[in-house]
Structure 1
Amino acid sequence: MKKQELLKIMDGELMEKLFSFCYARTSDSQEARELCSDIVFELMKAANTEGDIGNLYGFLWKVARNTYADFSDKKSRNSDRTYHGDPEELFSVLANPDGGDDSRELLDAVYRQIAFLTRAYREVMILFYLDGLPVAEIAGRQNTSEGAIRERLSSARKRIRSEVEKMAESSQRPVVLDQIDYWIMGNGNPLWGDPRKLCTRQLPKHLVWLCRKKSVSAAEAAEELHVPTVYVEEELEILRRGENGQYGLLRWLDSGNKAATGKGAGGTRAPGRYAINFLLFDTKEMEQLRAAYREQIPAFCRVVRDYVETHKEEYMAFPYLNRRKDWNLILWQQMHAIFHVFEDCVEGILAGKYFAGVDTGEDDRRPFSVFGHVREGENFGGGLDGMSGENICGCARVTVFNITNRWVQPHLWAGHDMANDAALQLAIRAVEGLGVEELSETGKEHAARAIECGYLYREGDRLYTKILVCGAGDEDRLFDIANGLAHGYLEESAQNVAEKVAGCIRRFVPEHLLGEWKYANWLAAQPVLDALLDNLVAAKVLLPPENGVGAEGCWMNVEK
């Protein structure tokens, strides 16, 4: 598009996103508005210049980031001319420069208490007592009646009068928040907006925790944490809006304790109460959720051992492209799928029997969701990463997968540069065999490393791919045999697990988050994969690689 067309796309939705960008990077809403105005001004200047824009959103966010950098630099320079001492001490001196120590202490307590008022009352107190504005002018600025302003002043004075004696003691107490930490996972595309990035400090973590079981107002949170409301209000709004202005760790609730509707996270008017917006379990709750699966793990492992032995010939008959098929490698490849069959069986029962009438629409429509629990010492499960490349070593497309768990270390991660991985390229070339004499001295060095890490093996003067290789068209049925476990083999265990997980969800999950019940099941199933692997390794059904590095748990699909 042409730069002159920029003004056409500057609608309310874009302004909301720009304001969210600014709000997350400034200390308060006033600064956010100033930064947002600067960004809009720069976009308007760009609209009066010649040229094309290839990537609209890339251009917009580049302008926003550059403007923010200039804004921060200007703010830093201005701070050199700004008073950096205690503002309450400064207010005391300005209010009564000749007053004694007692009057200064009293004023200090009053000013501290003003900071703990909610925004509406705090602004009225500051405008009336500190700025000296008449009630009529304050009413005009606040777009309300003079009676409403007088009522706010009266309520604020009563609050301060009743609390100022307590503040004499509490104002001397430093704010020290206990250490709290969460393990928060995500599902979907985090590039859409990942609210976890805004919950790394202790204050937002504590605010999230306060909102976990009941809705709270800014004033209630400030009083509970002994943090001035001015800070709490800003932090609550940041947590509500999230990184993208649409999905945050908190949400508004209406007066009936139901999820507020309307503009959602990007709205402009808060009902006044905040509640948690994702599943977050404490340690005892997680113990009860996991216990539902743990009770069935012995039976599950017995079923799996019998099943894979019974279906061994079918597994070995799968048309892998390898010169030799390794039963141990096939089993390692299947472990994640087998685990997920059990988890999916439980999820199906939960969906049909226990949560059939629960609306999951909000989570289904969202590109990314988070869920988690209080971090404890125990870690479970592993990962499965896959990456693809095109036109590599004569193949139109290559997709490589590898798992990671307590027994198997990964060879590569998502985003791995396959085009510059010489060892992996040799594995691709050696599917049908590769003569050692065909390699240069450097190539032989790469081949030695590929053999060491499990990509290749040598047979005479030829190299062959050791990791499992599947041809185009066969990858869709790679786990069909494992999926057969869902047909009656796990029914009894899955029913028992589902009943107990459903009971935990009903007890632990707020009503407005019941639509995200499946994430509770995912968390509950965390111990199963590790327990399955440990059981099969102990029974010598699975043989782990030496030092965790080998062909186990790594495979690729190739399309010629």
Structure 2
Amino acid sequence: MQTLPKDKITEITKVIYNYSRLRTASGEETEDLSQEILLELIKAVPNLRDHSAFYSFMWSVAGNVYKQWCRKRASRKECELPEDLPFPDDPFAFDEDSDVSLLRRELSLLAKKYRQAVVLYYLENRSCAQISDALSISESMVKYLLFKSRKLLKEGMHMERKLGTLSYNPKTLIPMYSGTGPNHFWDFLQSKVRQNIVCACYNDALTVEQISLEIGVALPYIEEDIDALTDKQILVKKGNLYSINVILITKECADEIDRASEPFYEEIAVKIASFLDKRLDDYRNIGFAGAHFSENTLRWQLATLVFRAAAFYNFSGKPAERPVTAWGDRAFLWCVEQNDSEGKCIFRYSGMDGKNGNSLYFFDYVPLPKGDHHDFFGNDRKINLYCDIARGQTDHF
């Protein structure tokens, strides 16, 4: 029977609580709703067959429980903003063209400092003095934030806003890394939300509100990701606009590169083959482990060294100077949009060093973003073990 691990329960408890808080008028109702959702979710988990679909399963359970909770509620409290702006008690009870629906939309686009003040004042019924203590700001600042929030909400409700194409057709990016040290960039950019924030800022510099609309995710759920991307210099902020700070090779760009370079493929291949064939015997005579391999295998081994030289040396013959990343390593960072077209493969080259001068070089050409080198990267034990096997030094195993 499948159960939720403790760390997963802790993670989703926060998410469910925030979900409930945006749909209830008091702290007590928030706790009641979130507990009901969590209870039903834990009871329903054993019926989940595909763990990769957990989050869509979770939101489905949350939506069903919330609808039932609304029906069972004996009385309803209306929470209204001044200036005749109604605040939704039940977000499922209104048409999309209603003022309440528009208000809900605009609340999801408010910047954090304004949204916090609105939620504390109108949803949790806290006084300005209490909000001042909670946010560590003056009471006059609280009043200003509430005043500014009402102004922004009214203006926004009269604006036409449309979700961007990424909201229904998200992209998948492959983080590419060429440099020293652990590949933090790969792990950092595995989030689908972060990948599409990067895509949203590809052509134009956008505000956080525009990013939210472009990817179809409410601002409260992406603010931390935007801050993290900015902190790691994947995004840059100028004023209130964000743009990407890494190269992004889209499918269209990759196709154009292929079309432009295709006429030169044969010429380049002939030159590389000629270069390798002239040095094949010298290479074999070095006497390394694997020198007895076939000529074709040795050609590919030599080819990896040629490609390495092309990748790491500039036209002057000097090693290319890599910039310092936000993690403190020296590396080139870029992203490639995943291409699902049949026959499209990803070229991966990677070199890594172990103890005693051991080095492994991988040349992956596979239709998957994760090649063999990924399992060896940063793992000295595997590198040294592999090199010992290549030398025939297995007595210590």
Q: CA deviation at 1:145?
A: 4.9
Which amino acid counterpart does residue 190 of structure 2 have in structure 1?
Answer: C
Would the aligned equivalents of 2:347 and 2:363 in 1 still touch at CA under 8 Å? no
Q: CA deviation at 1:217?
A: 2.7
Which amino acid counterpart does residue 337 of structure 1 have in structure 2?
Answer: L
How many Å separate the matches in 2 of 1:281 and 1:96?
Answer: 48
Would the aligned equivalents of 1:363 and 1:369 in 2 still touch at CA under 8 Å? no
Indicate the structure whose relative CO is greater, using CA pairs within 8 Å and at least 6 residues apart. 1
| Alignment partner, residue 337 of structure 2 | 374
How many Å separate the matches in 1 of 2:186 and 2:273?
Answer: 41
**C-alpha distance 93-367 of structure 1, shift in aligned 2 (>3 A):** farther
Instruction: Choose which of 209, 222, 225 in structure 2 pairs with 1:219.
Output: 209
Instruction: Choose which of 198, 220, 224 in structure 2 pairs with 1:208.
Output: 198
Would the aligned equivalents of 1:253 and 1:275 in 2 still touch at CA under 8 Å? yes
Query: Is it true that 1:130 corresponds to 2:123 in the alignment?
Result: yes
Q: CA deviation at 1:161?
A: 2.7
How many Å separate the matches in 2 of 1:370 and 1:299?
Answer: 29
**C-alpha distance 216-318 of structure 1, shift in aligned 2 (>3 A):** same
**C-alpha distance 117-93 of structure 1, shift in aligned 2 (>3 A):** farther
TM-score between the two structures when normalised by the length of structure 1:
0.43
Alignment of 1:48-447 (within 5 A): 79-80=38-39, 85=66, 93-95=76-78, 106-107=99-100, 109-135=102-128, 137-139=130-132, 141-164=134-157, 177-188=168-179, 191=182, 193-194=184-185, 196-201=187-192, 203-240=193-230, 247=232, 250-255=234-239, 272-290=240-258, 293-311=261-279, 314-315=282-283, 317-320=285-288, 327-344=295-312, 347-348=314-315, 360-362=323-325, 365-366=328-329, 370-376=333-339, 377=341, 378-383=344-349, 403-405=363-365, 414=376, 428=392
**What SS does the aligned partner of 2:171 have?**
coil
Give per-residue Cα distances to partners, 1:223-277, cap 9 Å, x unaligned. Answer: 3344322123233234445xxxxx36x444242xxxxxxxxxxxxxxxx544334
Q: CA deviation at 1:205?
A: 2.8
Q: CA deviation at 1:372?
A: 1.7
Would the aligned equivalents of 2:177 and 2:186 in 1 still touch at CA under 8 Å? no
Q: CA deviation at 1:119?
A: 1.3
Would the aligned equivalents of 2:174 and 2:336 in 1 still touch at CA under 8 Å? yes
Give per-residue Cα distances to partners, 1:79-99, cap 9 Å, x unaligned. Answer: 449995269968x932269x9
Which amino acid counterpart does residue 371 of structure 1 have in structure 2?
Answer: W
Alignment of 1:17-36 (within 5 A): 27=14
Would the aligned equivalents of 1:88 and 1:111 in 2 still touch at CA under 8 Å? no
Would the aligned equivalents of 1:251 and 1:274 in 2 still touch at CA under 8 Å? yes
Would the aligned equivalents of 1:186 and 1:370 in 2 still touch at CA under 8 Å? yes
How many Å separate the matches in 1 of 2:318 and 2:203?
Answer: 24
**C-alpha distance 382-25 of structure 1, shift in aligned 2 (>3 A):** same
Q: CA deviation at 1:366?
A: 2.2
**What SS does the aligned partner of 2:299 have?**
helix
Q: CA deviation at 1:183?
A: 2.1
**C-alpha distance 85-350 of structure 1, shift in aligned 2 (>3 A):** farther
How many Å separate the matches in 1 of 2:247 and 2:351?
Answer: 25
How many Å separate the matches in 1 of 2:373 and 2:108?
Answer: 54
Q: CA deviation at 1:117?
A: 1.4
How many Å separate the matches in 2 of 1:419 and 1:340?
Answer: 21
**C-alpha distance 402-350 of structure 1, shift in aligned 2 (>3 A):** closer
Which amino acid counterpart does residue 78 of structure 2 have in structure 1?
Answer: A
Give per-residue Cα distances to partners, 1:146-190, cap 9 Å, x unaligned. Answer: 5544443333223323444679x989xxx9531311122223467
**What SS does the aligned partner of 1:381 have?**
strand
Query: What's the % identity of the aligned pairs?
Result: 12
How many Å separate the matches in 1 of 2:115 and 2:167?
Answer: 24
| Alignment partner, residue 44 of structure 2 | none
How many Å separate the matches in 2 of 1:252 and 1:212?
Answer: 12
| Alignment partner, residue 45 of structure 2 | none
Give me the CA root mean square deviation.
Answer: 5.5
Q: CA deviation at 1:218?
A: 2.0
How many Å separate the matches in 2 of 1:298 and 1:362?
Answer: 37
How many Å separate the matches in 2 of 1:24 and 1:274?
Answer: 28
Give per-residue Cα distances to partners, 1:1-33, cap 9 Å, x unaligned. Answer: xxxxxxxxxxxxxxxxxxxxxx999857x99xx
How many Å separate the matches in 2 of 1:410 and 1:115?
Answer: 43
Q: Kindly name which structure, 1 or 2, has the bigger radius of gyration based on alpha carbons.
A: 1
How many Å separate the matches in 2 of 1:87 and 1:373?
Answer: 44
Which amino acid counterpart does residue 66 of structure 2 have in structure 1?
Answer: G
How many Å separate the matches in 1 of 2:209 and 2:100?
Answer: 21
How many Å separate the matches in 2 of 1:314 and 1:94?
Answer: 85
Which amino acid counterpart does residue 179 of structure 1 have in structure 2?
Answer: P
**C-alpha distance 134-369 of structure 1, shift in aligned 2 (>3 A):** same
Q: CA deviation at 1:336?
A: 1.0
Give per-residue Cα distances to partners, 1:90-113, cap 9 Å, x unaligned. Answer: 8x932269x99889x655553443
How many Å separate the matches in 1 of 2:201 and 2:393?
Answer: 56
Give per-residue Cα distances to partners, 1:484-538, cap 9 Å, x unaligned. Answer: xxxxxxxxxxxxxxxxxxxxxxxxxxxxxxxxxxxxxxxxxxxxxxxxxxxxxxx
TM-score between the two structures when normalised by the length of structure 2:
0.58
**What SS does the aligned partner of 2:271 have?**
helix
Q: CA deviation at 1:334?
A: 0.8
**C-alpha distance 361-238 of structure 1, shift in aligned 2 (>3 A):** closer
Q: CA deviation at 1:198?
A: 4.8
**C-alpha distance 360-304 of structure 1, shift in aligned 2 (>3 A):** same
Give per-residue Cα distances to partners, 1:52-100, cap 9 Å, x unaligned. Answer: xxxxxxxxxxxxxxxxxxxxxxx9899449995269968x932269x99
Would the aligned equivalents of 2:204 and 2:243 in 1 still touch at CA under 8 Å? yes
**What SS does the aligned partner of 1:179 have?**
coil
Which amino acid counterpart does residue 156 of structure 1 have in structure 2?
Answer: S
**What SS does the aligned partner of 1:94 have?**
coil
Q: CA deviation at 1:209?
A: 1.1
Which amino acid counterpart does residue 345 of structure 2 have in structure 1?
Answer: N
How many Å separate the matches in 1 of 2:251 and 2:107?
Answer: 37
